[in-house]
């Protein structure tokens, strides 16, 4: 008998049931998200419903009450929402959420008040939250990610893994990529802004990314530029869909037993590889999309690009998803060139076989001369003949070994 998973309503659904309309329809919410990025807007919609359910007030009521509180001469009443927000944070901690996670939620709550009016800002400096991680960050090895890559059964999912691992993209950044954003050439440089911070991350199209991108675009029928790059049966994949794909692959691969292994762990693995490769710190920060100020290190853009590309090439052996056996398109040969190589290898084998026969004849002659009893040869000449014999035998062994290698390469080809 198949057990069905119970689907519990989300806080966003409970909010709509409680207050009668979606959270994004309230004026206070509209003002709070008016100037924020899309990823932050979605976080507001996801995080804040639970806070308003806790308060038992809708967003417009909260802002109206906050306006009244800050004008109240009673100091305790003026800090009403600071105390309620601290109580909400403690409830989240008691339910098992980490201090870092709760800090992020409190940040969204503070943003809600401050974005409605600076006068409504909450002073939460007295709230002390534990900073230690409940689950330590996990940085997977190259072997583990290659296993994950092998488990993926579509070029779309393989491309997502390659981008998150070798370019350090977060799920939200992957979901925002459009057709044409990624160059199709190997080792091509490109820039994008991180949705989380707005900082520029400077990335390189590795051979793995170029390989999977070419196949994926062909399967999709070479879609028009500007359209979403990653799509599923229901349309473009959003942040959550990208995370779910990687999470399911982690579970399917049997790597979910490693505490802390989550989709963003692929990004952490890239940073480890860059550090291990002794990449310049500012270049590493630029590749990770952190604040690096690297554009002020060089006199021009071209020099910056050269150094970033070289840094990625240096780290690539630690990041390769197909071992180092993937042939770069720069080193691929045509059918005619390959056939010509086969002919030349055959000619070389014949030439070496003939040379070995000549050497064997020379060795036999030298041995015959040295064995003659009635032929007087000076001691110096004997030593020269012995040395020549030794050299001929050594050369013959080396030629036989080389010939064997040539024949083996022919068989492999």
pLDDT tens, 55-106?
999 999 999 999 999 888 888 888 899 999 999 999 998 888 888 889 989 9
pLDDT computed for residue 368 by the predictor? 73
User: Rounded to whole angstroms, how far apart are CA atoms 244 and 390?
Assistant: 69
Q: Taking 90 as the threshold, does the pLDDT of residue 400 lie above it? A: no
Nearest to 102 by CA among 111, 110, 93: 93
User: Rounded to whole angstroms, how far apart are CA atoms 30 and 115?
Assistant: 10
Segment 149-168 mean pLDDT: 92
CA angle at 63 for the pair 57 and 69, rounded to the nearest 5° = 100
pTM of the model: 0.60
pLDDT computed for residue 281 by the predictor? 85
* Residues 6+ away with beta carbon under 8 Å from 55: 62, 84, 88
Of the candidate ranges 86-100, 159-173, 243-257, 311-325, the one whose mean pLDDT is the lowest:
311-325
Q: Calculate the average pLDDT of the chain.
A: 82
Q: Is 129 left (phi over 0), alpha (psi -120 to 50) or beta?
A: beta
* Residues 6+ away with beta carbon under 8 Å from 17: 9
263-266, long-range: CB < 8 A, 24+ apart: 263/164, 263/171, 264/170, 264/171, 265/137, 265/138, 265/139, 265/140, 266/140, 266/145, 266/161, 266/164, 266/165, 266/168
- Between 193 and 43, name the one with better pLDDT: 43
The three-class DSSP label of residue 393 is: helix
pLDDT tens for 295-335 read 666 666 788 888 889 999 999 999 999 754 444 444 445 55
Per CATH, the architecture of 142-331 is what? Answer: Orthogonal Bundle (1.10)
User: Rounded to whole angstroms, how far apart are CA atoms 157 and 82?
Assistant: 44
- Between 362 and 313, name the one with better pLDDT: 313
Domain coordinates of the chain in residue numbers?
11-120, 142-331, 335-412
User: Rounded to whole angstroms, how far apart are CA atoms 181 and 302?
Assistant: 19
Segment 242-270 mean pLDDT: 86
Percent of the chain with pLDDT over 90: 40
């Amino acid at each position: 008998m198949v057990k069905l998973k119970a689907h519990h309503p989300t806080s966003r659904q409970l909010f709509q049931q409680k207050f009668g309309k979606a959270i994004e329809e309230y004026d206070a919410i509209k003002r709070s998200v008016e100037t924020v990025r899309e990823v932050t807007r979605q976080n507001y919609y996801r995080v804040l419903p639970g806070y308003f359910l806790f308060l038992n007030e809708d967003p417009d009521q909260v802002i109206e009450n906050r306006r009244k509180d800050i004008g109240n001469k009673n100091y305790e009443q003026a800090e009403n929402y600071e105390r309620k927000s601290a109580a909400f944070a403690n409830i989240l901690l008691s339910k098992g959420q980490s201090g870092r996670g709760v800090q992020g939620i409190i940040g969204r709550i503070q943003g809600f008040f401050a974005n409605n009016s600076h006068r409504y800002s909450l002073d939460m400096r007295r709230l002390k939250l534990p900073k230690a991680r409940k689950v330590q960050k996990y940085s997977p090895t190259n072997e583990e990610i290659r296993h994950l890559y092998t488990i993926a059964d579509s070029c779309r999912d393989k491309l997502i893994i390659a981008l998150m691992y070798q370019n350090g993209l977060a799920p939200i950044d992957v979901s925002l990529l459009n057709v044409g954003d990624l160059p199709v050439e190997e080792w091509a440089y490109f820039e994008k802004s991180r949705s989380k911070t707005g900082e520029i991350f400077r990335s390189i199209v590795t051979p793995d990314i170029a390989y999977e991108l070419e196949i994926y675009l062909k399967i999709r029928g070479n879609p028009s530029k500007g359209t979403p790059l990653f799509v599923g049966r229901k349309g473009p994949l959003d942040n959550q869909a990208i995370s779910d794909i990687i999470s399911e692959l982690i579970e399917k691969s049997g790597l979910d037993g490693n505490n802390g292994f989550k989709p963003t762990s692929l990004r952490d693995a890239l940073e480890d590889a860059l550090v291990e490769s002794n990449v310049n710190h500012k270049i590493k920060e630029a590749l990770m999309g952190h604040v690096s100020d690297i554009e002020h290190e060089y006199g021009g853009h071209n020099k910056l690009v050269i150094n970033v590309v070289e840094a990625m090439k240096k780290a690539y052996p630690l990041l390769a998803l197909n071992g180092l056996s993937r042939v770069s398109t720069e080193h691929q040969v045509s059918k005619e060139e390959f056939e010509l190589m086969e002919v030349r290898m055959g000619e070389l084998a014949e030439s070496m076989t003939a040379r070995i026969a000549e050497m064997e004849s020379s060795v036999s002659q030298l041995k015959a001369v040295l064995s003659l009893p009635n032929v007087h040869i000076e001691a110096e000449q004997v030593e020269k003949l012995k040395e020549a014999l030794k050299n001929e035998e050594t050369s013959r062994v080396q030629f036989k070994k080389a010939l064997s290698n040539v024949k083996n390469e022919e068989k492999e080809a």
